[in-house]
Amino acid sequence: MHTTLTEHARCLYGDGYGPKQPCERQHTEAYFIEDLTFADADAILAMLRELCPDLVDGNLPVWTRNLAYRLLLLQRPGDPALMREAAASLWLHGPDWDDIAADLERQADEARISPRTHSP
């Protein structure tokens, strides 16, 4: 059993920074996506920072990374730094998501100018 979302992701997708660690558990993306879906923002950020520290690298599939950022933004609405980071990830894998990336940057600018209040 994995104790963190990062460990689960690393076992499923590997890690571009070191050899894949042996694991006794059989992996399916469905179980990982379930863990990701119900993970808190700190766990998701930790996974992204550990497995994709430079945004352009790492072994997480693009769709998984996009989902992770979407879930983060739902948990932390109005966070301009996070919006910009998500937008940067989308720009790298466009042009399908260029309009969404541009909108996130616009929202980040607006949030920086007049911060929104939100409940955690």
Tally the domains of the chain: 2
Range of the domain at 82: 78-114
Asked if residue 89 and residue 65 are part of one domain, the reply reads no
Structure confidence by residue, pLDDT tens digits, 23-53: 777 778 899 999 999 999 999 999 999 888 8
Specify the pLDDT at position 19.
61
Residues 90 and 108 in one domain: yes
pLDDT of res. 100: 92
> Whole-prediction pTM value?
0.84
CA torsion 54→88→35→111, rounded to 10°? 120
- Predicted pLDDT at 1: 62
Quote the pLDDT of residue 52. 84
**Could you tell me which of 56, 77, 74, 75 has the C-alpha nearest to residue 65?**
56
| Residues 4 and 20 both lie in one domain | yes
Q: Which residues lie below 8 Å from residue 85, measured CB to CB, with a gap of 6+? A: 55, 69
Q: Classify residue 120: in a domain, yes or no.
A: no
Residue 24 maps to a domain: yes
Q: Is the peptide bond between 95 and the residue preceding it cis, with omega within 30 degrees of 0?
A: yes
Mean pLDDT by 10 residues, the chain (120 residues): 85 76 77 95 94 80 92 94 93 87 93 60
Q: Which helix (H) or strand (E) holds 90?
A: helix 80-92
Q: What's residue 115's pLDDT?
A: 54
**Distance separating alpha carbons of residues 19 and 74, to the nearest angstrom:** 33
